[in-house]
Structure 1
């Protein structure tokens, strides 16, 4: 296996095992000692850790290379999983989950940065997002199943921690084979983007600020459209009326729908901004339908896959510095999963689910109107699938 293929395997296997480990704790949260609020904080700490490190991870990818950042993310993940398998104190688990999220943020932003520098990035990003959702599905279902079968509360966490060691081994093999960073496979303009980012921190931070302003409608669409999926997942248990085990299965099927559309999205020969706009219209309609028909989350899962791949494809074309772009993208996605469900849930409790859903649908409608005003600043990328 060539060095490049081995590195790609490390990324693909790594994202699946990392996401599975992150979700393996969810089935056992009710069994942990501690108040319900602590359990909720344990769940959210992971997303907060990822949210605050995805942008630094992307910047570091452009600064020191993706290989080092990806390796650091995987090592932090395995260390966190090891501690989670043996720690029972809820406060310590909260801290470990935060560190686990930091590892995830570094890994995801650096991996997407590397992928977007490659030929055929649309197809590779589709596979990456599909494996990300597959990992979430396996952690949710497999973690609970392994724990129940062995009668050991942390058996699922230990299993996925051991599984996460494999991509670290393959990353070490990449290191043994020589330089694992993708510079050798970059176009001349992309190599220039990376070398420019290594001139100093001030120009790089200036570029971050400029990219935030330049692609503001895109970041807004990431926060809102991906945040909607968290909003419906948070409300689904109450609205569906299903038992806890059935809820877990239903949410796993939603992830499966996202996996399918992530694989299918590169085959949609539709300009990315147009596909984002169409997806935003569908999301606005579906979130209103969701109030009466909670099973619409399955369709929403499919649309979510189209949204993610379209947004990533757009950034691959629109921006040269993919470390910064993917850092901002993953930060926005985790921010959406953190804040949209929280705000929507608060409004649902204060007023009603209908009011909350209407507001979220309105935000999706704003995405429809604003997404076309993103700016490409003249960079000529290759939208290869």
Structure 2
């Protein structure tokens, strides 16, 4: 039980700290939007760079060491940002190192989850805790800012010490029974899963990045709408492990539903903010179902999961990094309708190409 609490609480605090700076970005550099952007992006850049190396190291030297290292970096960098908030360069550096810590944790934690007998159910709890952490980082830090600008950072940093201490109880059970696969072999073997993750996760980033300017809604309304996306993922992450569906048909339906939801997102503001919340909840719901199915398929392979999950996380981070950027360029060149149309088309493509994946779950559910 301690081992599972370490990972569930660990992903909650890591994700909460990743978002905890968002409501208070002006505090770090009130007159320099570029610096604010650097502070925000440094985290994801560090995570993107570290997830695959972390997975490789976890396969070779053990996931426990990487999980502990990731949580240790989370604690240290959270404390550093709290103690030295008025030095933008130090904050940017700390956020980058914090992202590296997150990369080490998420790659290794998911690889640990995937070799457990109850991996299907545990992955659902993991993704639910991840999204609750993202929500909490935004909402709780914003609320606590009235009592102290960086109080939220302190709260989540102190809380992250608990999973770090519990991580010393982790075992490597199940890992030694599997073989190490080279990066290129793992990337080719699961290429359709990784591509679907890139597009589906990237699409959530496209919607999140376009909507503030697209709708011009008040920040509080936008927060509620984006929160609905996370809540949709939380709910379906908990429901999906209880439903036995093969990955290919589930991902195909997910791609179709996501394509429809993105198209509806373009028109939803005309019907009020409640319509937008429903569409966003549908988008988040697709992510939860698809993630659990993808994890179950990856978990059944007989190779160590560090590299496999590291590439999976890199594809998700890559989607979040590149697809919103490309969508922004499309908006500048053609307009919002073209950007939403492109995202819709890509989601539809998921429903087509996933059929080329021989993604059949052969094992009995845990």
**TM-score where L is the length of structure 2:** 0.93
Pairwise CA distance, 1:383: 5.0
The 3-state SS of whatever aligns with 2:217 is coil
CA contact (8 A) 2:187 2:308 kept: no
Change in 2 beyond 3 A, CA 1:50/1:319:
farther
Aligned length, in residue pairs: 356
**Residue of structure 2 equivalent to 1:343:** 326
**Residue of structure 2 equivalent to 1:240:** 215
**Residue of structure 2 equivalent to 1:192:** 177
Pairwise CA distance, 1:134: 0.4
Moved over 4 A (4+): none
Match status 1:7 vs 2:3: yes
Pairwise CA distance, 1:182: 2.6
Pairwise CA distance, 1:241: 3.1
CA contact (8 A) 1:141 1:249 kept: no
Match status 1:304 vs 2:266: no
CA distances 1:17-72 after superposition (whole Å, capped 9, x unpaired): 11111111000013332421221221111111111111111111111111100000
1 CA distance for matches of 2:177 and 2:9?
30
**Residue of structure 2 equivalent to 1:182:** 172
Aligned with residue 21 of structure 1, among 10, 17, 22: 17
CA distances 1:70-121 after superposition (whole Å, capped 9, x unpaired): 0000000111100111221222211111111100011011010011001121
1 CA distance for matches of 2:66 and 2:171?
10
CA distances 1:147-203 after superposition (whole Å, capped 9, x unpaired): 12x1x221111111011111112223x2xxxxx3332xx2xxx6332xx43xxxxxx
**Residue of structure 1 equivalent to 2:69:** 72
The 3-state SS of whatever aligns with 1:325 is helix
The 3-state SS of whatever aligns with 1:191 is coil
CA distances 1:216-249 after superposition (whole Å, capped 9, x unpaired): 2211111001100111011122233321122223
Match status 1:128 vs 2:126: yes
Pairwise CA distance, 1:381: 6.2
Match status 1:168 vs 2:164: yes
Match status 1:42 vs 2:39: yes
Unaligned 5+ residue runs, structure 2?
270-275
The 3-state SS of whatever aligns with 2:7 is helix
**Residue of structure 2 equivalent to 1:200:** none
The 3-state SS of whatever aligns with 1:160 is helix
2 CA distance for matches of 1:44 and 1:28?
15
Unaligned 5+ residue runs, structure 1?
175-179, 198-203
Pairwise CA distance, 1:382: 3.2
Match status 1:334 vs 2:317: yes
Pairwise CA distance, 1:375: 4.6
Match status 1:257 vs 2:235: no
Match status 1:223 vs 2:198: yes
Change in 2 beyond 3 A, CA 1:367/1:303:
same
1 CA distance for matches of 2:283 and 2:149?
32
**RMSD between aligned alpha carbons?**
1.7
2 CA distance for matches of 1:61 and 1:268?
30
CA distances 1:344-370 after superposition (whole Å, capped 9, x unpaired): 122112211111111122211221111
**Residue of structure 1 equivalent to 2:346:** 363
Match status 1:101 vs 2:84: no
Pairwise CA distance, 1:6: 1.1
**Residue of structure 1 equivalent to 2:253:** 278
2 CA distance for matches of 1:51 and 1:384?
31
Match status 1:374 vs 2:352: no
2 CA distance for matches of 1:382 and 1:56?
29
**Residue of structure 1 equivalent to 2:115:** 117
